[in-house]
Amino acid sequence: MRGICYTFRMRYSKLFGKTIKEAPSDEVAVNAKLLLRGGFIDKLMAGSYTLLHLGRKVEQKIERIIREEMNSTGAQEILMPLLHSKEIWNETGRWDSAREVMYQFKKNDKEYALSFTHEEIVMDLIRKHVSSYKDFPVKIYHFSTKFRDEKRAKSGILRGREFLMKDLYSAHVSKEDMMKYYSQIIEAYKKAFKRMGLDAILTEAGGGVFTKNTTHEFQVIADSGEDEIIYCPGGDFSANAEISPVKEGKQCDLGHGPLKKAKTIEVGNIFPLGTYYSEKMNAMFTDQDGKKKPIWLASYGIGLTRAVGAIVEIHHDDKGIIWPKEVAPYDCHLIEIQNSKFKSFGDGVYEQLKKARVEVLLDDRDDVSVGAKFADADLIGIPVRLVVSAKTGDKIEWKERSKKATELLTIDEIIKKLL
């Protein structure tokens, strides 16, 4: 195989991080409760979680979707450091203005900050590597850790003090060129969120500590969301309630009826930063007319761990998680119902699925009841459950997590449906 591989199969008996009956009582968010109970994450401290094997796999699937969509816009993957010097943050004044959210410290007389974002770092990188208009556009992104000292860290992995993020930065010679790529990223983000199973609404928003310009957020409607949007049900308007010029109930100008208000989770944000950073940091290029001009910068973020949490907030029922296909930790959850004959048949099915490169989690435990296995499968939420038992004969029972019906299929039919 060409590309970065990961694990294609797992025997549940060997998995580190099994399901647990009750989430710790200090967890209030649905995402954290279900992810902890399902064995996807473990809490190290408030706002900080370990991704266990299943959680890491979901995150890797999201990473893959984002990587594909970013690469398709011509963006290039890099990796920038997490530890930064005070000097670089002082160039824009954010050492002081973002002090509340940044972890800052001194060691051996040198002052450092941990990455809460990377505009200053990427601007420094770009100003060292470009000089002429011919060197543009620049489109670079990375997957990396961000640190933000959040006052309230009560939303599970929706709002961590430490979390994974994809951040893309684009640099251009003009506003026009910047906005053209900005529009291209809007489309790429829509595709990426759709593949993750998220109906993200493009929403106008303020820029926080990033910019005074109007920016855009991708918001997903969820009762547990910390944000609020005013939006048209016809899809032609959405603004963060904080900056919305209109109120709930006003009639949509295009005749889609009254505007609605909803709680939402922000899963992505994009900032047309303009020349603010380049002017502060003296990041210039020589244009066709021989003149020095400031670089136009935009930045685009997607929280990976937050996306995991948002997916769970939206795709679950009272039994557990229901992963959308493309982000499920495994394609199918194969359950053997104990009986030496069917165990060996089950192992054969497992081998055939492996061979076909179907990603399979096999519940091979022999000290657990059938009922408990089914409950665990519902909690973990892999989209397809397969059962091999005396009842299924030489066929396999197929059940989708989101449906009630079961059907008996041959191994060939199953492989065909899963690939």
Q: Which residues bind a second copy (CB under 8 A)?
A: 1-8, 10, 14-18, 42, 44-45, 48-53, 55-57, 59-60, 63-64, 67-68, 71, 74, 76-85, 103-108, 112, 114, 121, 124-125, 128-129, 138-140, 142, 145, 147, 149, 161-162, 164, 357, 359
Query: Closest separation between CB of residue 95 and a second copy, Å?
Result: 15
Given the complex with a second copy, which of 59 and 227 has the nearer CB atom? 59
Given the complex with a second copy, which of 10 and 198 has the nearer CB atom? 10
Query: Closest separation between CB of residue 246 and a second copy, Å?
Result: 38
Token couple for 412: 């060939």
Query: Closest separation between CB of residue 121 and a second copy, Å?
Result: 7
Cβ atoms 175, 288 nearer than 8 A: no
Given the complex with a second copy, which of 65 and 201 has the nearer CB atom? 65
Please list, in sequence order, all residues whose beta carbon lies within 8 angstroms of the beta carbon of residue 144, skipping any fewer than 6 positions away.
79, 80, 82, 115, 118, 164, 165, 167
Query: Closest separation between CB of residue 372 and a second copy, Å?
Result: 16
Given the complex with a second copy, which of 138 and 259 has the nearer CB atom? 138
Distance CA 196, CA 308 (A): 9
Cβ atoms 186, 300 nearer than 8 A: no
Given the complex with a second copy, which of 9 and 175 has the nearer CB atom? 9
Given the complex with a second copy, which of 91 and 397 has the nearer CB atom? 91
Query: Closest separation between CB of residue 135 and a second copy, Å?
Result: 8
Query: Closest separation between CB of residue 109 and a second copy, Å?
Result: 12
Phi-psi region of 155 (alpha: psi -120 to 50; beta: other; left: phi over 0): alpha
Sign of the dihedral defined by the CA atoms of residues 337, 338, 343, 347, in that order: positive
Of residues 124, 111, 86, 128, the one with CA closest to residue 277:
124
Q: How far is CA 371 from CA 160, 266, 334, 374, in A?
A: 35, 37, 14, 5
Query: Closest separation between CB of residue 201 and a second copy, Å?
Result: 28
Given the complex with a second copy, which of 177 and 228 has the nearer CB atom? 177
Query: Closest separation between CB of residue 8 and a second copy, Å?
Result: 7
Cβ atoms 218, 193 nearer than 8 A: yes
Given the complex with a second copy, which of 27 and 359 has the nearer CB atom? 359
Please tell me whether residue 167 adopts helix, strand or coil conformation: strand
Write down the H helix ranges in 93-172.
94-97, 119-129
Distance CA 128, CA 100 (A): 30
- DSSP β-ladder status, 215-221 and 227-231: unpaired
Given the complex with a second copy, which of 14 and 404 has the nearer CB atom? 14
Query: Closest separation between CB of residue 170 and a second copy, Å?
Result: 11
Phi, psi of 371 (to 5 degrees): -60, -40
For residue 167, give the amino acid letter: D
Of residues 120, 133, 118, the one with CA closest to residue 172:
133
Query: Closest separation between CB of residue 125 and a second copy, Å?
Result: 6
Distance CA 254, CA 240 (A): 20
Given the complex with a second copy, which of 79 and 254 has the nearer CB atom? 79
